[in-house]
Amino acid sequence: MPAQRLSVVVTRRLPPAVETRLTELFDVRLRDPDTRMTRDELAAAMRDADVIVPTIGDAIDAGLIGQAGERLKLIANYGAGVDHIDVATARQRGILVSNTPGVVTEDTADMVMALILSVTRRIPQGLAEMQAGDWQGWSPMAHLGGRIGGKRLGILGMGRIGQAVARRAKAFGMQVHYNNRKRLRPEVEADLEATWWESLDQMVARMDIISVNCPHTPSTFHLLNARRIKLMKPTAVIVNTSRGEVIDENALTRALRAGEIAAAGLDVFEHGHDINPRLRDLPNVVLLPHMGSATLEGRVEMGEKVIINIKTFADGHRPPDQVVPGML
């Protein structure tokens, strides 16, 4: 007699190929329509399922985990970041947590460069002018931006994505600098032609562009606070494709409005999709709706990792991407 298939609840729509494979392997409840689950819906799913597949938009906190049924044994997160999941509480309840690391590295690094170019070369302004039909022809002083070759790029967080950004920046002729909890091995530093700064204060004060590529943890919350932003040059630019909570968004907005820094390119925000309207109205800011990992290839690969984690768990083994409290 075949073993009973795991009951799996997916909180958002995933690429069709991923959903098809999930359906073939497990007893899956897919999300239709593609809207965010309410807290009550999440609680109900966690009471009834063996596995839940949440995304970054689902806050799986201690209160929700406390309502989970005895069946729930795995939270197979669709995404690398797990700061929206109380991993420690899940562990206390005997619930494993897995994620999908390493999949979005190249896509996110591409988006960093796209934001750097968009901000420094004023691409959104040019696009808006063309779409409005306002272009009057070429002019020597029109649409002047800045050259990125030769500029100092300070990378905050030199993990997989930070290093991928460094490789791209090097190809663009930028000077690569970084601040990280641990200094890279000498051979890696040499390959990236990267300069390590032990002091974040000293680094941000000397950079032309800051790229935020570190995770959100208690130690990185508001790492770029009002004091550090004031250290930056008035011509400097901030780009963030990592986690919005790393930057004090109110302090950043004030600095941009006051001309204390030149511009910003943001793909993530401190309060999710609730964006400060004073930030949204600024002409020297490029805002994107969390598109850093938004490639079909990347999203399918994320789904494949979710499937491997669930299948490995179903076979009685530890998921290959199990998250342990304190590991990120």
Tokens 């070369």 -> residue: 121
* pLDDT interval class at 1 (50, 70, 90): very low
Q: Which domains does the chain have, with CATH numbers?
A: 7-103+296-314 (3.40.50.720), 105-287 (3.40.50.720)
Instruction: Answer whether residue 327 shows pLDDT above 60.
Output: no
Q: Which residue stretches of 121-221 are H helix? A: 123-131, 160-171, 186-192, 200-206
pLDDT at position 326 is 61
Beta pairing class for 51-53 and 7-10: parallel
Instruction: Kindly state the average pLDDT of the residues 155-175.
Output: 98
Looking at per-residue pLDDT, the higher value among 216 and 58 belongs to 58
Residue 2 has pLDDT above 60, yes or no: no
Q: Is the predicted pLDDT of residue 3 greater than 80, yes or no? A: no
For 89-124, write each residue's pLDDT tens digit.
Answer: 999 999 999 999 999 999 999 999 999 999 999 999
Average of per-residue pLDDT values in the chain:
95
What is the rounded distance in angstroms from the CA atom of residue 66 to the CA atom of residue 120?
48
- Is residue 18 over pLDDT 70? yes
Torsion of Cα atoms, 124 then 221 then 108 then 169, to 10°:
80
Q: Is 7 buried (19+), middle (13-18) or exposed (0-12) by CB count in 10 A?
A: middle
